Amino acid sequence: MRDVAVRFGGIVALSGVSFDLPSQQINALIGPNGAGKTTLFNCLSRLYTPTSGDILFEGQSILSRPAHRIAEIGIGRTFQNLALFQNLSVLDNVRIGSHCRTRGDYISDSLALPWSRSTEKEIDHKARQIIRYLDLQSVMHRRVGDLPFGTQKRVEMARALAADPKLLLLDEPAAGLNHGEVDELGDLIKHVRDDRKLTVLLVEHHMSLVMSISDTVVALNFGRKIAEGTPAEVQNNPDVIAAYLGTDQ
């Protein structure tokens, strides 16, 4: 992020925010409600365009790229309130994730041209692999809307991973999960990072999860970066303590 600012009319949601995400590390973005975390995530996944500043991915600006072409360069995300197709099966949701990495187009798919059929096979194979990887085989053919929230979150992660991201953006992955599920999630994020050599950025309010799995933490308040460092450094930063306790420095 290079000096990124976002304004909505008179509201300054982000201002002068710069930081790097070290590759293959788990990075967390924290801050009180309204600090600008979701806005920043939406800029990274191109749902929002910054008012000023730039965002580079592997040295290239991503700002000329529309949101629907962000997965193909290796940026995947999950959403705070889930963005799954509730009426589709787990398998179909995950298949949609791997579709962006293929060369399918409407005409070849409609005519079921031979190479389009082999692409379909590839998509199916890939989706089943990811489903096994995230231990979702037993619910693979179930309608997503009928599954418990914790399982749906796992499906969303499977769908994001099916696109083979290099950078995985996780928007409040622990929200709505119980203690045991949060512990499992922490292990899963670490395992996925190690195994698939991913860079992770997570927005999270669950501080014990952030502190236990993150390599680096960036803290925002009122749209500005107020701290950056290891979890211990950020946790002990007076500006961060003040932001969370709501006291003036």
Ligand X SMILES: Nc1ncnc2c1ncn2[C@@H]1O[C@H](COP(=O)(O)OP(=O)(O)OP(=O)(O)O)[C@@H](O)[C@H]1O
**Rule CB under 6 A: which residues touch ligand X?**
8, 11, 13, 31, 33-39
Instruction: Output the CA angle 34-70-203, nearest 5 degrees.
Output: 30
- Pick between residue 35 and residue 123 the one whose CB is nearest to ligand X: 35
Tell the smallest beta-carbon distance from residue 222 to ligand X (Å): 8
Pick between residue 156 and residue 171 the one whose CB is nearest to ligand X.
171
Q: How far is the CB of 38 from ligand X (least distance, A)?
A: 3
E strand spans, the chain? 2-8, 11-17, 26-30, 52-54, 56-57, 60-61, 75-77, 167-171, 199-203, 216-221, 224-229
User: Measured between alpha carbons, how far is 189 from 197 in angstroms, rounded to an integer?
Assistant: 11
Shortest Cβ 220–ligand X spacing (Å): 7
Which is closer to ligand X, CB of 80 or CB of 108?
A: 80
Return the number of the residue (30 or 127) whose C-beta is nearest ligand X.
30
- Closest distance of CB 8 from ligand X, Å: 3
- Which pair of tokens denotes residue 2? 């290079």
Q: Considering beta carbons, is residue 17 or 26 the nearer one to ligand X?
A: 17
- Give 33 or 249: the residue with its C-beta nearer to ligand X: 33
Shortest Å, Cβ 95 to ligand X: 30
Nearest to 186 by CA among 215, 220, 210: 210
Half-sphere exposure of 166 (CA within 13 A, CB side): 9
3-state SS assignment for residue 24: coil
Phi then psi for residue 175, to 5 deg, are -60, 130
Is the CB of residue 75 less than 8 Å from the CB of residue 57? yes
CB closer to ligand X, 63 vs 175: 175
Q: From CA 145, how far away is CA 85, in angstroms rounded?
A: 8
Nearest distance, CB of residue 204 and ligand X, angstroms: 10
Residues sharing a CB contact under 8 Å with residue 142, sequence separation 6 or more, in sequence order: 89, 90
What residue type is 94 in one-letter code?
V
The nearest distance, CB 9 to ligand X, in angstroms, is 7
